[in-house]
C-alpha cells in the first residue's frame, strides 16, 4: 500500500460585509475573508494538503488569483477538481484533520454540517473528517479579529 501525508495552511484577512465561507458552508457573521474566491480557509488548506501529499504543487498553481474565472468562486469547486486529480493518480483520502483559528463566531454547532459537506466531496465517511476551532486568546491578527487561519493534514492511500 502506498500512503502519503499532506499538510496545508491558509490565512485570509477578515473584512466587513463579506460572507464567511468555512468548510463549504456560509456562516452568519459581520466579517468574511478578503479573497479572490470565497476565501474558505478550510477548503484552501485542505486543497494544499491534498496536492502536497502527492507533490502536485499548491492551490495557486491550479486556481490563481489572477484568473477572473476564479473571482468569487465557491471553493467547493476547487476541492472537487483537486479530488479528481488525486483519484486520477489512484489515491483516495483516508482522513483529514483541521485546526481552525478564529476569535468569532463560535462554530461548534456548525462543524457537523461542514464535515458532512467535505466528506461528501471527498467520498469518505463523516467520521473521517475532523474540524476543531480555537481562538488565539485575543493575541495576534486572529485575536484582533483581523484574520482567520486553518491548518489541515490529510492521509491518502493507494
What are the tens digits of pLDDT across the range 39-75?
999 999 999 999 999 999 999 999 888 878 877 789 9
The C-alpha torsion from 136 through 30 and 110 to 143, rounded to 10°, is: 0
pTM of the model: 0.95
Domains delineated in the chain: 3-157 (3.30.1330.50)
Q: What is the torsional sign of CA 21, 22, 27, 31?
A: negative
pLDDT per residue over 109-135, tens digit each?
999 999 999 999 999 999 999 999 999
Amino acid at each position: 500500500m502506498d500512503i502519503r501525508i499532506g499538510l496545508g495552511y491558509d490565512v485570509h484577512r477578515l473584512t466587513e460585509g463579506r460572507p464567511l465561507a468555512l468548510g463549504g458552508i456560509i456562516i452568519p457573521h459581520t466579517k468574511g475573508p478578503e479573497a479572490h474566491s470565497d476565501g474558505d480557509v478550510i477548503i484552501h488548506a485542505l486543497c494544499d494538503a491534498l496536492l502536497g501529499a502527492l507533490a502536485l504543487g499548491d492551490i495557486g498553481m491550479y486556481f490563481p488569483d489572477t484568473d477572473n474565472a476564479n473571482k468569487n468562486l465557491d471553493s467547493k469547486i476547487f476541492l472537487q477538481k483537486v479530488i479528481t486529480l488525486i483519484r486520477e493518480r489512484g489515491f483516495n483520502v483516508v482522513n483529514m484533520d483541521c485546526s481552525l483559528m478564529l476569535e468569532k463566531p463560535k462554530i461548534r454547532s456548525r462543524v457537523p454540517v461542514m464535515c458532512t459537506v467535505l466528506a461528501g466531496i471527498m467520498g469518505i465517511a463523516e467520521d473521517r473528517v475532523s474540524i476543531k476551532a480555537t481562538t488565539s486568546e485575543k493575541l495576534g491578527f486572529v485575536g484582533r479579529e483581523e484574520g482567520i487561519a486553518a491548518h489541515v493534514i490529510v492521509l491518502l492511500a493507494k
